[in-house]
């Protein structure tokens, strides 16, 4: 069964050029090539330096609007670190020809992090950590709202419990989720990317070059973004990632991040029938979570054993 939603509106080259003539006539005659269809948007390359991002279903309309609202502000924070984002250069307006907003954005060269190994990703783990610290600043009152991203974990417990019940063979995910539920809730309301996974991170020449696809950008708990540590890195990379964040996040935030990683692992496992890269990500993330829980439990048992022997000697 295919999980990716069908397009509700499909535009051909002539249609896209008509949109450009309406809002950006100076760009309308540049070379135009369709390059991808995602869950929510179709991407056309425009000339050598630009791309046209067009929603393919109504549920994605708000995502384009969110990017148009947030990226002019957030892009500056990340650009200061040398990390690019698809800040719209044209915010296309709804029209009689097409009723939804759309954008012209920079074309950013690079391969997604799906193309590199977890061990390779460790090289730029500190750069991603620095980027998230810069991103996670207080959000304004009119920041886009997202009912599922960056919310208190308890708000997603019904959904997660149903998925966990279908996968009793994954106790490490249950342990991570339960620990997150009992951890102190976040008191922060900061900007978060909201969809940070290997497909939305671009790498070039072994370095982090861009964060893309900000359609789910919202305000909430930074732990949601920090879950990417289990999606991208091996144990060494995760250590480098966490160390590079310094004292920005407390222990409770990392416990909630671990829980969100379990949540996302099940998303990729259960909603990726026609996306082998996403399915593989779900499986590898489960393996990382199991490794993390196993080694943490061994460390805790060792600590308890050492403490017991210390007590016996005193």
257-288 tens-digit pLDDT: 999 999 999 999 988 777 899 999 999 999 99
C-alpha separations of 253 from 127, 178, 187, 231, 249 in Å: 20, 14, 10, 17, 6
**Residue that is written with structure tokens 């670190």 in the block:** 81
Tokens matching residue 37: 């269809």
For residue 83 the two structure tokens come to 């990390």
List C-alpha distances in Å: 185 to 159, 188, 257.
19, 9, 11
Which percentage of the chain shows pLDDT scores above 90? 84
Contact of 259 with 202, CB cutoff 8 Å = no
Rounded distance, CA 282 to CA 52, Å?
Answer: 30
CA distance 60 to 164: 28
The CATH architecture annotation of domain 111-306 reads Alpha-Beta Complex (3.90)
pLDDT at 294: 81
Domains 13-106 and 111-306 share a fold: no
What is the structure's pLDDT at 307?
Answer: 44
Count of C-beta atoms within a 10 Å radius of residue 257: 24
Residue 15 structure tokens: 């249609």
Q: Does domain 13-106 have CATH number 3.30.200.20?
A: yes
> Above 60 in pLDDT, residue 210?
yes
CA 263/CA 49 separation, integer angstroms:
36
Q: Hey, where are the domains in the chain?
A: 13-106, 111-306
pLDDT over threshold 90, residue 251: yes
pLDDT tens profile 156-169 = 999 999 999 999 99
What lies within 8 Å, CB to CB, of 217 at 6+ separation is 66, 67, 70, 71, 74, 143, 144, 191, 192, 193, 194
- The Cβ-side half-sphere exposure at 243, using a 13 Å CA radius, reads 10
Detail the DSSP E strand segments found in the chain. 32-37, 41-46, 50-55, 90-92, 102-106, 111-112, 190-192, 201-204, 207-211, 218-220
Measured between alpha carbons, how far is 260 from 215 in angstroms, rounded to an integer?
19
The predicted pLDDT at position 8 comes to 87
At residue 227, does pLDDT exceed 60?
Answer: yes
Q: Tell me the average pLDDT of the chain.
A: 92
Residue 275's pLDDT is 82
The H or E element that residue 67 is part of is helix 61-79
Residue of 57, 35, 60 whose CA lies nearest to 46: 35
* pLDDT of 308 higher than 60: no
């Amino acid at each position: 069964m295919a999980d990716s939603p069908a397009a509700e509106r499909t535009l051909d080259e002539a249609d896209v050029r008509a949109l450009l003539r309406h809002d950006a006539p100076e760009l309308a005659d540049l070379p135009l090539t369709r390059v991808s269809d995602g869950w929510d948007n179709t991407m056309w390359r425009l000339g050598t330096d630009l791309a046209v991002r067009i929603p393919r279903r109504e549920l994605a309309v708000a995502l384009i609007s969110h990017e148009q609202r947030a990226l002019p502000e957030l892009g500056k924070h990340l650009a200061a670190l040398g990390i690019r984002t698809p800040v719209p250069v044209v915010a296309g307006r709804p029209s009689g020809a097409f009723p939804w907003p759309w954008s012209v954005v920079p074309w950013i060269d690079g391969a997604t992090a799906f193309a590199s190994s977890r061990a390779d990703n460790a090289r730029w783990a500190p750069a991603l950590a620095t980027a998230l610290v810069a991103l996670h600043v207080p959000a304004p009152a009119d920041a886009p709202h997202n009912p599922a991203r960056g919310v208190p974990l308890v708000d997603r417990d019904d959904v997660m419990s149903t998925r966990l019940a279908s996968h009793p063979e994954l106790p490490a995910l249950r342990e991570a989720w339960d620990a997150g539920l009992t951890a102190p809730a976040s008191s922060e309301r900061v900007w978060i990317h909201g969809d940070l996974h290997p497909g939305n991170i671009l790498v070039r020449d072994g370095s982090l070059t861009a964060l893309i696809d900000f359609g789910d950008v919202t305000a909430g708990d930074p732990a949601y973004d920090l879950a990417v540590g289990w999606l991208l890195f091996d144990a060494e990379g995760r250590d480098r990632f966490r160390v590079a964040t310094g004292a920005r996040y407390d222990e409770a935030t990392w416990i909630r991040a671990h829980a969100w990683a379990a949540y996302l692992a099940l998303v990729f496992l259960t909603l990726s029938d026609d996306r082998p890269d996403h399915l593989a990500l779900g499986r590898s993330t489960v393996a990382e979570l199991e490794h993390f829980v196993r080694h943490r439990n061994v460390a805790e048992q060792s600590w308890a054993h050492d403490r017991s022997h210390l007590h016996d000697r005193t």
